[in-house]
Amino acid sequence: MLAEMEQPMPNVLIVDDEPQVRNIVATYLERDGFQVRTAQDGEEALAAIRAKRPDAMVLDLMLPKINGLVVLQTLREGGDDVPVIVLSARGQEHERVAGLELGADDYLAKPASPREIAARVRAVLRRSRPVGPASISFGRYHIDRAARSLTRDGEPLSLRPKEFDLLVHLASRPGEVMTRSDLLCDVWGSHPDWQDPGTVTVHVRRLRRLIEVDAAKPEHIITVYGVGYRFDA
């Protein structure tokens, strides 16, 4: 009988123009069992992705040649949903929101500990297999969890990876009120001490634009003021 082959460890691409940051983060992730590649600028990052698509990416914003936001935008516009954790010295709220709006799955301000970076990488990778009902329907919408797809009246809609994860988590628990801290822990695998709860707000806003008739008067993702959100099917 052939021995069962071990599952290869995820491949992580670290993109940062500071050699010390690249080396420290790479060393820590390798010790944690990840396969690691590095790039020092935006052009090198895009070339590395074309050569071999990573399972996740840690991306600085302030890069030579092509900055990190353009790298991220290029990936998303090209249909690549690789999980991206932005790691940047630019920690102001509008910059975090810009990264998340372009499709980043997480955002860390420098300096960040290698241990926390590794935890964030594990968090964005851990939801590779659907758990629970294979499909969820509400109103005109149908979610196929295995295919990671959302349709409206049978027509496919485009969702970013974290938007899909958040929608599934909410829709599979109709009537349950969840705080932003709960959602950070359950969907992002993160913690309010590590990550701005505004991450949840940004993703809820994007989901409402997609599935609500009037995003200002949502019928499905309901705000429970002072608490969090509730999903109504």
Tell me the CATH number for domain 135-231: 1.10.10.10
Q: Which of 12, 14, 32 is nearest to 23 (CA)?
A: 14
Cα 69 off chain centre by:
15
Q: What is the pLDDT of residue 183?
A: 85
Q: What is the pLDDT of residue 107?
A: 83
**Partners of residue 209 on adjacent β-strands:** none
Look over the chain and give the mean of its residue pLDDT values, rounded to a whole number: 83
Global confidence as pTM: 0.57
Which ranges of the chain have pLDDT less than 70? 1-8, 90-96, 126-132, 189-195
H, E, C per residue of 104-147: CCEEEECCCCHHHHHHHHHHHHCCCCCCCCCEEEECCEEEECCC
Structure tokens at 89: 């010295």
Residues forming CATH 1.10.10.10 domain(s) in the chain: 135-231
Q: What is the pLDDT of residue 49?
A: 94
Q: Which CATH number fits domain 11-125: 3.40.50.620, 3.30.565.10, 2.60.98.20, 3.40.50.2300?
A: 3.40.50.2300
Q: What is the pLDDT of residue 99?
A: 74
Whole-angstrom Cα distance, residue 180 to residue 171?
15
Listing DSSP states for 71-85 in one string gives: HHHHHHHTT----EE
- The strand ranges marked E within the chain are 11-15, 35-39, 56-59, 84-88, 106-109, 135-138, 141-144, 149-152, 155-157, 177-179, 221-224, 228-231
Give the tens place of pLDDT for each residue, 159-182: 888 899 899 989 988 888 888 887
Residues forming CATH 3.40.50.2300 domain(s) in the chain: 11-125
In this structure, are residues 14 and 38 in contact, taking their beta carbons and an 8 Å threshold? yes
